Structure 1
Amino acid sequence: MFKIKISVLLLLVLLTSNAMTQENSIGIFRQGNNLASSYKSAIYNSEDQSYILSAKSLDKREQSGSVYNDIAGDFIITANVDQSKMALEGRAGLMVNQSPGKNTIQLKATVDGNGRTYFQWSNSPEAGEADSNKISAPKYNYDVLQLERKGKTILMRAAHWGEPLQDIGSVKLEELGDTVKVGLFINSQNGNNNYDQANFWNVRIDKPVSENYNPGKEGWIGCRMEILDVDNGKRRVIYEKDDRFEAPNWMPSGDKLLFNMDGSLFTIPVEGGKPQKLNTGFADNLNNDHGISFNGEIIAISHHVENKGSLVYTVPIDGGTPELVTPEGPSYWHGWAPNNQEVVYVAMRKGSSGYNIYKKSIKGGDEVALTNTKEGEHVDGCEYSPDGKYIYYNGSASGTMQIWRMKPDGSAKEQLTFDARNDWFPHISPDGKWIAYISFPSTIPVNDHPSFKRVTLNIMPTTGGAPRVIAYLYGGQGTINVPSWSPDSKYLAFVSNSGK
């Protein structure tokens, strides 16, 4: 089972210059400002990938420090922050600076020791802190902060973990150059000889693509494999690649993930490492619809066959020769029945203008249609509950893509989410208590689930209740298309996207 080891904190202080070497980098950050002092420090915990920034002011002389990267063009920086160990006058958060130095263009998403949260900026190189503009957030104690750049405009969002991000404010600065410094900061001015300290985790800098980006022509941007603790929302990146991979399943042993990449399946230890290719015989054009039977003995795969489209096959858990399940295509696997003998999948068949949900025995026989979609309607992501009482799926019968469930014979269809956003791919935890799913912005066409969007991962009880957000990320297609709960129902694996 996946466990987080006790970590050794790497204290990086007394830096001799603002620039840090690759060896001296602090987590994802390559540079630090004003850290060459015994009054300031930056700590990176490589095990849980968190950061601690500290600063101490003397005689009310302000002390500030930051870690950052030089970023060209548009970006999104997101982080959780805990300011509870700061004095009331202390401030910490996310920063964007045009150049080092005090009198410069600066933008900050800030939370102070009082819990007040605000968006602050100076709009000319000559402006100092006293000349800054400020937009105060409507609530206190936000613990998720985000800054996004779109051209000359910087937007701030914030959330209490579990809630959707809220727009706090934005500003357009024509003086803002193409390359800016983006990172974390702390500011202390308490003067009481005590350190102010801010903790940061889930720190991500994403490079978004343009709205009309075509990965088929322009190439896929990079991916991260992440593991999420659903109880506290803390995430760890275990694998990265400057290309496409998708859709992790958790292997029955609990110590590896299974995912698709370059048309094949691979496994990787949950602690990270080198992916190992799984033998799937002639099936070398796999998509992101694959998963493991409840008894842990069989893998269902979806393999693209020329002139037929995607077809569903099965292979043994350790790999082997595929056995055909669906002779007719296109068919995309999504779930196993608890009896380990039937699968559910979405398929398009003759006479239908759209996809429907089907079930079929892996031993043969006729497939059974469980839905009958109308024109303009779409269903996807079908998956059995562990007790076999329901099949969960996402569907747009209401006009918005929402989470539904039905009985295994297709009867008693019931809508579970009522959201302005578009909700996809419900996954039921092995203990049967939780539904995890991905939520797309309402601006996305209702029947689409594209890559490279600001999305959230949400969970809600299977017994009913309000959903809550457990991850804020840049992703979409391939993030969580298939079941990805850990066997103990404590973690989720998923893929996020980011360009360089």
Structure 2
Amino acid sequence: MPRTLQPGQRCEVWVGSALTGSRELICSTDSLLLEAPNWTPDGSALILNGAGTLWRLQLVGRSLAAIRVTGVPALNNDHVIAPGGDRLYLSAEDGHLYRAGIDGGDAERVTAADGFAHYLHGISPDGGRLAAVAIEAGDFSRPGRLVTMPADGGPFTAVDTGPGHCDGPEYSPDGAWIYLNTEAFTDRPGHAQLARVRPDGSRLECLLRSASVDWFPHLSPDGRFASYLRFPAGTLGHPENLDVEVVVVALEDWTTPLYSWAVFGGQGTLNVNSWAPGSDHFAFVTYPFD
């Protein structure tokens, strides 16, 4: 079921600067729980999900309007925009991936009934392949596995990331790497760390060894910066309604944050790439209580 706000809770959409560390509130609502912004390639809007559907938040005028996608079950917060900006790839609550136009309309399923639940996080720079997490039989007691597949549909290819759960796989802007979080570098349950791997499964590398539980690395389009979400030590998964940190780093140094913001959020705050096309700003969502 789609998430909803609790009594006394608000949803706030923010834009943070990777250059100055400032942030600006661009939307606040106590009636709709929005999640996981994508920034449109033309720079004009954010695409978010809420109440099982998609929403467009125009940055000029800051109007919010539903994007009607038909022929698809309720959507979750794993969605990406194709490089050309004309199509969306979506994850739905039935565990399948779908494709639709940027303005909505009929959706087309692109995953097969292969016994896995699929959760989308990345698309290659040429738009040809998707990067997703596949969970066997939709059983969340089993670890998620990194897979890639043709964007037009077809069998997936498993990419070995070692033991433990992995999540948030996203192609680098040059397509040479897939960035993700993984438990492969620890024996502590749930202790996700940031990593990258070649799309063929070679050269799995840990980017940052930390005491926190780190999720969802997102690279800016020019490859200068990355954002990610820092959960408290001992967190299992990426739950909602926690004190977390949104972190910005320079790509050559993951150990020294350029900026960080302590926020109340978690699930929905930064699940997908939300960088502006100019690579200087990115969006995230918080869920404070009054």
What's the TM-score once normalised by structure 2's chain length? Answer: 0.89
The Cα shift of 1:423 comes to 0.6
Q: 1:304 to 1:415 in 2, by over 3 A?
A: same
Q: State yes or no: 1:338 paired with 2:128.
A: no
Instruction: Report the equivalent of 1:324.
Output: 109
Q: State yes or no: 1:488 paired with 2:278.
A: yes
Q: State yes or no: 1:236 paired with 2:24.
A: yes
CA distance in 2, matches of 1:393, 1:435: 12
Q: 1:216 to 1:319 in 2, by over 3 A?
A: closer
CA distance in 1, matches of 2:211, 2:169: 21
SS at match of 1:287: strand
Q: State yes or no: 1:315 paired with 2:100.
A: yes
The Cα shift of 1:434 comes to 1.5
CA distance in 1, matches of 2:224, 2:5: 42
Instruction: Report the equivalent of 2:179.
Output: 392
Q: State yes or no: 1:404 paired with 2:195.
A: yes
Whichever residue aligns with residue 265 of structure 1, its letter is L
Q: State yes or no: 1:226 paired with 2:26.
A: no
SS at match of 2:54: strand
Q: 1:277 to 1:458 in 2, by over 3 A?
A: same
Q: State yes or no: 1:499 paired with 2:274.
A: no
SS at match of 1:231: coil
The Cα shift of 1:320 comes to 2.2
CA contact (8 A) 1:230 1:470 kept: no
The Cα shift of 1:272 comes to 5.3
The Cα shift of 1:326 comes to 1.3
CA contact (8 A) 1:228 1:492 kept: yes
Q: State yes or no: 1:429 paired with 2:214.
A: no
SS at match of 1:363: coil
Mapping of residues 81-480 of structure 1, within 5 Å: 221-242=9-30, 243-271=32-60, 273-305=62-94, 310-328=95-113, 329-349=116-136, 353-371=142-160, 373-374=162-163, 377-399=164-186, 400-445=191-236, 448-468=237-257, 469-480=259-270
CA distance in 2, matches of 1:465, 1:392: 13
CA distance in 1, matches of 2:274, 2:222: 13
CA distance in 1, matches of 2:142, 2:127: 31
SS at match of 1:382: strand
CA distance in 2, matches of 1:320, 1:425: 29
Q: 1:222 to 1:496 in 2, by over 3 A?
A: same
Q: 1:272 to 1:494 in 2, by over 3 A?
A: farther
CA distance in 2, matches of 1:297, 1:220: 37
Query: Which runs of 5 or more structure 1 residues have no equivalent in the other structure?
Result: 1-214
Q: 1:251 to 1:218 in 2, by over 3 A?
A: closer
Encode CA deviations 1:378-413: one digit per residue, 9 max, x unaligned. Answer: 100000001011000000112231110000111110
CA distance in 2, matches of 1:235, 1:456: 14
Instruction: Report the equivalent of 1:145.
Output: none
CA contact (8 A) 1:238 1:271 kept: no
CA contact (8 A) 2:179 2:217 kept: yes
CA contact (8 A) 1:356 1:373 kept: no
What's the TM-score once normalised by structure 1's chain length? Answer: 0.53
CA distance in 1, matches of 2:246, 2:6: 27
Encode CA deviations 1:142-182: one digit per residue, 9 max, x unaligned. Answer: xxxxxxxxxxxxxxxxxxxxxxxxxxxxxxxxxxxxxxxxx
Whichever residue aligns with residue 248 of structure 1, its letter is P
Q: 1:391 to 1:220 in 2, by over 3 A?
A: farther
340-349 or 279-288, larger mean C-alpha shift = 279-288
CA contact (8 A) 1:260 1:286 kept: yes
The Cα shift of 1:221 comes to 3.2
The Cα shift of 1:237 comes to 1.2
The Cα shift of 1:487 comes to 0.3
CA contact (8 A) 2:112 2:155 kept: no
CA distance in 2, matches of 1:326, 1:482: 19
CA distance in 1, matches of 2:60, 2:132: 31
CA contact (8 A) 2:213 2:233 kept: yes
The Cα shift of 1:348 comes to 0.9
CA distance in 1, matches of 2:229, 2:255: 15
CA contact (8 A) 1:458 1:467 kept: no
Higher relative contact order (CA 8 A, sep 6+): 2
Between the two proteins, the alignment pairs up a number of residues equal to 278
CA distance in 1, matches of 2:247, 2:284: 12
Encode CA deviations 1:78-122: one digit per residue, 9 max, x unaligned. Answer: xxxxxxxxxxxxxxxxxxxxxxxxxxxxxxxxxxxxxxxxxxxxx
